Amino acid sequence: MFASIAKPFVTRTAFAATRVGGKKHFSSSSAARISLALTPEQLELQELSRSFTAKEIIPKAAHHDRTGEYPAEILKKMWDVGLLNTHIPAEYGGLGLGVLDCAIISEELSYGCSGIQTAAEANGLAQAPVILGASDALKKKYLGRMTEEPLMCAYGVTEPIAGSDVAGIATKAEKKGNDWVLNGQKMWITNGGKANWYFVLAKTDASAKPGKAFTGFIVDGNSAGISVGKKEINMGQRCSDTRGISFEDVVVSDANRIGDVGKGFQLAMGAFDITRPLVASAAVGLARRAYDEALKYALERKTMGKPIAEHQAIAFMLADMAIGVEAARGLVYKTSWQIDNGERNTLVASMAKAYASEVANKNAADAVQIFGGNGFNSEYPVEKLMRDAKIFMIYEGTSQIQRLIISRSLIDAAKKGN
């Protein structure tokens, strides 16, 4: 049923990555001027994603949550209809969708299960620094293969002692002839045990400041010296494959270096300008699901002779939940529009990520409260939403890191008189 809807996108020609002012950016076919209305193409993407979620994700989400089973079959079907690897530019066989287009998809997939959505979007995170800084040959080799079969990849930056403190990364890469030798350990790597290749940030100059100390590499998943740790059993998003990855004398060709030596930190941070809006949109999807479940239940459950939705205490909670969803989506759309149109979006991306993640947590908690004792039971969907929501305030930059970025940006602008 999805083939006819997906057809305009499977051609991989409707969208393209373009340049504004000589700078690489992501763009959709929408007009440069902002509009609160989605384009016909975006509405079609939304309907495709929503239909796929209803048929393929929602009925199976509880199973994957209970068992922790990786959603390989769902991800394959997602690839079949064009909902996986949506960032990849058309010249490398992809759809070349804009960030706003991808945000629309992320919200719908996360509505069904944010763990499954995270597994899918982890590909986008790993691909982002490749799209931003890799050579044409590397893009053809590593992005091209993602469009030929349903492969997964992973973003290897976080370490056991270096999460928010990216400058504390200890994994190192030493140059030996035409190769680099990597040693170190990464932690909390999504798709870690499923990746065909990894983006790895490693220290190449121990004496340099963070902005010049790190270099990005593409490391093949089957390289000698890679050890994949156990699947971590997490509080929520349990079907997402999260592991530690160790590198012991892993040899990587200099041809697999992304960009110049010492420019890896900028690449890794630049990727977040693309992916933080998508994490925020996924949080919106979960928040919307929590609201919908709570509203439905509140209209069915009766106390004191009427639906609990008609009690002011519950009605006001529902109102606040709806406000949060709409406001968070507005931030997501703004920051997505900015980067799609060649504007720097770091500030609003952090605002969207911080706010949407907290709305998701509040809505999930309020949904559990509205469900009462039933909300605490795994036979009902909202306790899963509450467990799944917490990670949105942690991964891809904690809420505290987002506030650090926001406050520094505001203070710097004020000092400059902007």
Cα(152)–Cα(52) distance, integer angstroms = 20
Phi and psi of 324, rounded to 5°?
A: -60, -45
Residue type, 215: T
Q: Which residues pair with residue 173 across a beta bridge?
A: 182
Q: How many residues does the chain have?
A: 418
Strand, helix or coil at 247? Answer: strand
Which H or E run contains 402? helix 399-415
H-assigned helices in 20-95: 40-52, 58-67, 72-80
Write down the catalytic residue from 107, 108, 159, 396: 396
Instruction: Please give the DSSP secondary-structure letter assigned to residue 71.
Output: -
The DSSP-derived string for 338-385 is: HHHTT---HHHHHHHHHHHHHHHHHHHHHHHHHHGGGGGSTTSTHHHH
Nearest Cα residue to 270 out of 333, 324, 204, 211: 211
Cβ burial of 48 (10 Å; 0-12, 13-18, 19+) is buried
CB of 104 closer than 8 Å to CB of 41: no
Radius of gyration, alpha carbons of the chain: 21
Query: Residue for token digits 């944010």?
Result: 114
Distance of CA 103 to the CA centre of its chain: 9
Which tokens belong to 152?
């997964």
Cα(412)–Cα(418) distance, integer angstroms = 9
Residue type, 133: G
Q: Give catalytic status of residue 396 as yes or no.
A: yes
**Active site positions, annotated:** 396
